[in-house]
Structure 1
């Protein structure tokens, strides 16, 4: 098993993976991914207007809202992509410890997409949106000594 530590900094539109071998050292950006569909407006993602429905009694008519938004489906799709990348890294033995940094809602989605083996490598989760920061700024927001697996 490797002693490499991956720090995954993501939100529903951007994912960046940093790596370090020293729990108190600097982090280096390994990969970055952008999910363009998550940046679009809902009306640009859906080609059709929601359907219309009638009230059970009377002449009332209203819009039938879908059970979930296209944005939510796009975020789930991106969480799947990130989880697949992490699973591959763990399977190849490239990573010993994972740290997840994402806004709380997306962090929950991402955690839900991780398989049991990958989840065992997660030692720290932070509910913050730090994707817009550079590596030094991200490192300054993490604990001084990163937890090991």
Structure 2
């Protein structure tokens, strides 16, 4: 069975997954996600009126950080995608190039089977690179 290496390049609002069958093979983009809510101001994604409600409570509950919530939702989406891929034997090895704090959030959502296939993780945002530039950089700096 051929080795399939997947490379995730992501930040809080954009993720791309590439496949490389061998070191000499070109990168092939498999999929990408846009999650613009992660970059929007909180007032634009707020579902309830701003402020705290005191109705029926003696104290105020802390507000959840919307950016953290959106980042967690995005990380969950990515983790489910990789879980399905590993479960269905579509990937043999994973390398993550993910900006902070999404990297920590994503790693916390990965199950053991996905973590076992993870061969490299770098806290680095490469989402702005073209496929050609990314291919060159991965080969030159990371031997991927």
The unaligned stretches of length 5 or more in structure 2 are 55-59
Unaligned runs of 5+ in 1: 54-62
TM-score calculated relative to the size of structure 1: 0.82
Shift of 1:119: 0.5
- Residue of structure 1 in register with 2:30 after alignment: 30
Q: 1:23: Cα distance to partner?
A: 2.6
| TM-score for the superposition, normalised by structure 2 | 0.85
1:109 to 105, 110, 121: 105
CA distance in 1, matches of 2:121, 2:142: 15
Deviation at 1:52, TM superposition (A): 7.4
1:18-97 to 2 correspondence within 5 Å?
Answer: 18-46=18-46, 47-51=48-52, 66=63, 68-97=64-93
CA 87–64 in structure 1, closer or farther in 2 if over 3 Å, else same: closer
> Which stretches of structure 1, 4 residues or longer, exceed 6 Å deviation after superposition?
none
CA contact (8 A) 2:11 2:100 kept: no
The alpha carbon displacement at 1:35 in A equals: 1.3
**Distance in 2 of aligned mates of 1:104 and 1:13:** 12
Q: In the alignment, what sits opposite 1:56?
A: none
Provide the aligned C-alpha RMSD in A.
2.0
| Contact 1:2 1:93 (8 Å CA) reproduced | no
